[in-house]
């Protein structure tokens, strides 16, 4: 039986439907300005500073210098050179133009390399004794370092395929504010 049930009687129904569609369309297509969170900006500042510090450490002082300071620290890999690295990296990162105020950045450094089995290995290059990383908001900065041939002291033995191969390693510094 055909009857009146289920029919669309009123034009209000149609207009309400169109109204909802138009509303939805306007809301979706309207420009939304998203406010980025402040923390990202701080990250950029920290990352830039870390990259600057690594770049400056990796700049030779004189034309005849065989290695940049950073290459020297990584190549020698002994206590005294690790101390130089920590000292200079701290100096570059924590110095400000204020006479008394210093920044409080902390860091540790890891070296990544392709080992003799063609897998990526890591070696903790520098880890401070007096503090550790406890999931603070941190950034990672890295720099490729070329090491010419010669013995690489105190590194894991799989760092080289042959005893006198030059090696490219990636130094990664984790940087955070205390």
Partner 1 sequence: MKGKRSWFLNEEGQLSIDFIIGFTIFMVAFIIVATMMSGILISLQSRTIDYDAVAYRTSVMLIEDPGEPWNWHLLNRPYQEDRDFLKRLGLSISRLSPGLLQQQKVDAFFDNSSAPGFSGGWSLRYPEDYKYRLLYTDYPYSLNITLRKIDKSTQLNLGPELPLNQKFGYVRRVVKIKQTPNMTVNLLDPSVASDPSLMILMNFTKLYSRTSPLYRIEPMNEPILIKVQNVPAPITIEELLYDRIVFEGSAYNNTPPVSYPTIWVSKDGGDICTSFPCDITSDFFYIHIDEGMFRPASIPFEGRYNEDSQVIIKLYFNKIVTDGSFTDFGYTAAAITAPEPAILEVRVW
Interface residue with partner 1, options 39, 63, 134, 144 (CB under 8 A): 63
User: What pairing do the DSSP bridges indicate for beta strands 167-177 and 138-147?
Assistant: antiparallel
- What track of x and - describes contact with partner 1 for positions 69 through 108 (by CB under 8 A)? ----------------------xxx-xxx-x---x-----
* Bridge partners (DSSP) listed for residue 109: 126, 173
Q: In angstroms, what CA-CA distances link 174 with 6, 56, 99, 142, 178?
A: 67, 17, 27, 9, 12
- Cβ(110)–Cβ(164) below 8 Å: no
| Residue 153: CB minimum distance to partner 1, A | 26
Residue 7 binding partner 1, by CB under 8 A: yes
Interface residue with partner 1, options 20, 21, 48, 166 (CB under 8 A): 48
- Cβ(54)–Cβ(173) below 8 Å: yes
Applying CB under 8 A, the site for partner 1 has a residue count of 42
- How far is it, in rounded angstroms, from Cα 101 to Cα 105? 13
- Cβ(54)–Cβ(70) below 8 Å: yes
Name the one range near partner 1 by CB under 8 A: 47-55, 113-121, 123-131, 159-167: 47-55
- The residue ranges that bind partner 1 (CB under 8 A) are 2-4, 7, 9-12, 15, 19, 23, 26-27, 30-33, 35-36, 38, 41, 44-45, 48-49, 52-53, 55-56, 59-63, 91-93, 95-97, 99, 103
């Amino acid at each position: 039986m055909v009857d009146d049930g289920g029919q669309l009687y009123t034009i209000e129904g149609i207009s309400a439907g169109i109204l909802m569609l138009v509303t939805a369309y306007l809301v979706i297509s309207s420009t939304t300005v998203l406010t980025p969170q402040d923390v990202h900006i701080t990250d950029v500042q920290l990352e830039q500073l870390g990259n600057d510090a690594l770049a400056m450490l990796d700049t030779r002082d004189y034309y005849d210098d065989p290695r940049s300071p950073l290459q020297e620290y990584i190549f020698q890999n002994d206590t005294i050179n690790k101390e130089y690295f920590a000292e200079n990296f701290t100096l570059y990162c924590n110095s400000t133009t204020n006479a008394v105020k210093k920044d409080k950045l902390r860091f540790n450094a890891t070296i990544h390399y392709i080992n003799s089995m063609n897998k990526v290995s890591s070696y903790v290059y520098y880890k401070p004794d007096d503090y550790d990383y406890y999931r603070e908001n941190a950034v990672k900065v890295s720099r490729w370092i070329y090491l010419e041939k010669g013995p690489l002291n105190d590194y894991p033995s799989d760092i080289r395929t042959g005893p006198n191969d030059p090696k490219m390693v990636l130094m990664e510094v984790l940087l955070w504010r205390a």
